[in-house]
Every structure is written in structure tokens, then in C-alpha cells.
Chains A and B, each alone.
Chain A
């Protein structure tokens, strides 16, 4: 999938965070609940997917790769 568009969404959400390097976005405390909720909303709109409560778990948001994998999986569903 197109990671460039995703990186743009992330950069707008938290321009101060290094999304390329940080692989523990949640576990390091870098993303808080406000960020996660905003991000879920943005991703649903941008990729026309539904992210249900069961998919809102730390493993799916710890890195750009994990977020990509989540989007790809939901698009295939």
C-alpha cells in the first residue's frame, strides 16, 4: 500500500514524532489516547475502512509497519 499517504496523515497528527524510527509508538508513551482516537478517525476516512474496537490494540499502532498491515488487512476484508 501507499505508505507516503499514511506518513502524511501521521505527520499532520504529530509533526513532532519520528514515525520512521520509533517502533514503540504506544509502548514508549509517544502516542496517547487522544492521538489514537484521532488517528483511527483519520484512517477510517482516508482508506474507507472500519476499525472496530477489537482492532484498537497496542500491537496495531506501535509502528508504521503495524499500522500499514492493519489497513491492508481491513481493506481485504
Chain B
């Protein structure tokens, strides 16, 4: 039985040493080179002496950044990717939460990394790669490793404005990879067109499918996702046959009509995850690719990327939403209404149990205890379940259908965002008295209402340093005052009505 994800890499490096594992443009790394680079990075990290400690990898999205992740694992530690383009305050908040024993960066990201004003040590990967490998020490670390050791911590938006670090173990990722590669028949023949950023957990599937099967990952330059024709030409040129993208990326292609004039011929498997895939755009893709495998995949970071999936093997009516389907192998998914199972057709909170559950939130016992609770259906022995905060129900076919978020958390451009995090950032601007965010599902716009001075431009200029671009409000309205409920809270419902009325709905 496999205990450590490095076994995937090592077995594939023996089988297919020269084959390209990860590439982007001209930059590529083979499985053998990946193993060597990861071992060098692991050997370097040994000097810090930590075990199961965080290491931050602050790089651009390149093949060598995967070697950095695996190097952290070789050293007996776990990794957290930070994007070089992440806003300063978010990156610093992650660094504060983790207090990592090391920060690895690359030449290209060095300037940005230094601009953070982070006081801990940072090491350039280029320098580490000139060093050697301490095989004996790495073997000793492996001998002691167990599959409940942490593999990575990825950060999600937190309602208090502080992002939460979801810690995931080797066994959860092994559980995912074994199921995923089998369910979608991923082999060394696959060329995976990667869209998900490495700090976004959807990329975990792409990365570990490559390591296990010997498939190749082609990292698609982010800029191409703004230009559908270029994107499709790229899929053709790189012979990409497999994509697992956030729906908004697929929608842009469908909405611009880019598929009308062209059809990348190698594409065989089309997956979407991260938010609900609108049926209209799905049907555009389906029409173009009647024989491709389409699957809708669902799962919060806390359940290790996926907990349900739906292979679309029947007609979907234009007015029907695509089901999220059934629990993944070795994963139990159920709908709770209070402390009991929801009846058929009744909506409730989607809950999950199984090996896929994350270990918890790093340095955050309160939030961990709130989300990972004792199974209310089982009073007899300790058993944790994860409450997703998503409302779902079974349809008449017995398929699970996603209905809504329980709280103010939204899905926007594939990102899970707490509106509260944007509000916290807005409140921290000195000329703002008060601000409230709504989400307009129809047009997919984040709407900010605020009281105070300053123009839209002033607000956005200040938000740049505080939250990522995808959290920027798309519509900003200045108000004389905000409506209040009887007990003195801001009346979100009234604001929503006001907004809808204003937009002629």
C-alpha cells in the first residue's frame, strides 16, 4: 500500500525517466529530472531540521515549482504555494498564520517576494539546484513517514477576513488520485491542459494524476484564458486531450462563439469544477464534442478537492442544472437537516465523511471545531464529518443537486469568496464609514454599497493591496445610508430588493 505521494513520482521516474512530466512553453522537466530536482531541494531543507512543518513556495507557475513542492515532501515537511501576483496583505496573512521554516522562491518572483517586506529567510530555487543530494538522510525521513502526515496546506477565504489554511494529508491525496485516475481512465497518453493556479486545490488533481500515471501536464499561460481563439489554438498545438477547468474559463470560449470556427481535435475529456457549470454553455461544448467525456466535479478544499462527481451520460434539458451526482469512491456524502437525514426531495446541508477529510485548519482550532464535527448520526464512537455549508437535495433520479451556499460565501470566477472578507477590506479604508457586499448571481457581479467619501476609483485603488483582483466589486454604489433591520444589523435583504428594483428585475 502506498503511504507517501513520492512513491508515485519514484515509480514513474523508473518507468518513464525521459518522458516530459510538466511543461509550459519551452520550459519542460522530465520525470527523472523532477526527481533529482526535488531531492536536491529536499536535501537543502534538511538544515532547518523541521518535521511536518510548513514551507512556503512563492514562485511563478512553472515546472520547477512542482519540484519545490515535492522537495518539501522529501524533507519531511508540507508545502503551501503562494502566487507571486497575490496581493501583499493576503500573502502576509498566510505567512503570519504559518510562520514557515523556509520560503522558497525563484529569480522571477524574487522582487515581488522582497516587496512583501517579509522578514524571514528566503532562498532562490536556482541556488539550491546547484547543490547535492543526501540520499541517506532522505531515506531515513521516508522510513518514518506515515500517511496521515500533512502534504500541503491551501488557503481559502475566511469570513473574518483571515484566510484559513486547510491542511491535507498524504492519505487523502492518495485516496483522491487512486479513484480519479481510474474513474477517468488517465494514462501516460494523457496531455493535461492545466488551468487551475497551484494555490487552488483543483490543480492537485492535475499534478498527482501526472505523477501517478506518467501523463504530461501542459501549463497553459494565464493570459490565454482572456482570448478564446488563442486558447483553442494552443490546445491544438500542444495536442491537449484532457482539461479540468473552472466553468468560467469554459464559458468564455462558449460565449464568444470561438468554437464555431474551430475544434481542437485531440480533446477527449472535459471536466469542470470549482463552481456550477451553467447548462447553456455546457450544451455549446456538448454539441461540438458529442463523443467526449464530460464530468461535473464538486468538492470543497476541506474534502481534498472532490467529494462528488457526475459523468454526464444523459441529456440535460436547457432549464435543468447539471447535478453534482454521487459520492466519489470511498467517500460518503449525505444531506443533513438539523441532526437527521433529509428526506427525499428535502433540502439540507451537504456533509461528508471518509478518508478525504482534511486534518483541519492550521493554527485555528476554533474554526476546525466548527466545520469538522462529530457525526450526529453516530453517538457511539468518535467519527468526524465535514459540514460543507452547501445546501443540496436529491432529485427524482437520486442524483445530488447543488442549490445554494448556506452563508455569505459565494463562488465567483471559480474562487470561493466570503463576502465578509471583501467587507472587512472595505471597512479598513479610512474614508469609508460602512460597506456591504451582495452577489448578483445572474450577471455574476459582486456589488458593493458603501457610505462615506471617495469615488469608485479611490476605493479600488485602496483595495488593490488588500484583496485579490477576483474579489474586486464589479459594481460600486455610494449610499446616503444603509438600510437597517430592527435589531440594528444592516438589512441585506432590503439592499438586495433595492438593487433588483434598480436593475428592473
**A38 and B255 alpha carbons, distance in the complex (Å):** 12
Given the interface pairs A26-B223, A34-B470, A53-B256, the reply to whether A15 lies near B460 with Cβ below 8 Å is yes
- CB distance A36 to B226 under 8 Å? yes
**A34 and B475 alpha carbons, distance in the complex (Å):** 13
A38 neighbours in B (Cβ, 8 Å): 474
Given the interface pairs A31-B226, A33-B226, A37-B255, the reply to whether A15 lies near B456 with Cβ below 8 Å is yes
Does residue B252 face the partner (Cβ distance < 8 Å to A)? yes
- CB distance A16 to B226 under 8 Å? no
Does residue B502 face the partner (Cβ distance < 8 Å to A)? no
**A29 and B221 alpha carbons, distance in the complex (Å):** 11
Interface string of B239-275 (1 = CB under 8 A from A): 0000000001100100111101100000000000000
- CB distance B223 to A27 under 8 Å? yes
- When C-beta atoms are compared, the residue in chain B nearest to A59 turns out to be B227
How many interface residues does chain A have, given as a range?
Answer: 20 to 34
Does residue B115 face the partner (Cβ distance < 8 Å to A)? no
Which residues 53-75 in A have Cβ within 8 Å of B in the complex?
53-54, 56-58, 61
- When C-beta atoms are compared, the residue in chain B nearest to A14 turns out to be B460
Does residue B228 face the partner (Cβ distance < 8 Å to A)? yes
- CB distance A58 to B464 under 8 Å? no
**A14 and B227 alpha carbons, distance in the complex (Å):** 19
Count A-B contacts at CB 8 Å: 66
B461 neighbours in A (Cβ, 8 Å): 15-16
How many interface residues does chain B have, given as a range?
Answer: 20 to 34
- CB distance A52 to B257 under 8 Å? yes
Does residue A6 face the partner (Cβ distance < 8 Å to B)? no
- CB distance B227 to A57 under 8 Å? yes
A56 neighbours in B (Cβ, 8 Å): 226-229, 256, 258
Does residue A7 face the partner (Cβ distance < 8 Å to B)? no
- When C-beta atoms are compared, the residue in chain B nearest to A13 turns out to be B474
Which residues 16-39 in A have Cβ within 8 Å of B in the complex?
16, 26-27, 29, 31-38
Contact of B457 among A11, A29, A33, A61 (CB under 8 A): A11
B258 neighbours in A (Cβ, 8 Å): 53, 56
Interface string of B195-231 (1 = CB under 8 A from A): 0000000000000000000000000001101111110
* Best-buried of A15, A31, A53, A54 by chain B (most CB within 10 Å): A53
Does residue B413 face the partner (Cβ distance < 8 Å to A)? yes
* Best-buried of A26, A29, A32, A40 by chain B (most CB within 10 Å): A32
B460 neighbours in A (Cβ, 8 Å): 14-16
Does residue B85 face the partner (Cβ distance < 8 Å to A)? yes
**A37 and B455 alpha carbons, distance in the complex (Å):** 24
Given contacts A15-B456, A16-B464, 7 further A-B contacts (CB under 8 A): A15-B455, A33-B248, A34-B474, A53-B229, A53-B258, A53-B261, A57-B229
Q: Which 6 A-B pairs have the closest CB atoms?
A: A15-B457, A53-B258, A16-B460, A33-B226, A36-B226, A53-B256
A residues adjacent to B (C-beta < 8 A): 11-12, 14-16, 26-27, 29, 31-38, 40, 52-54, 56-58, 61
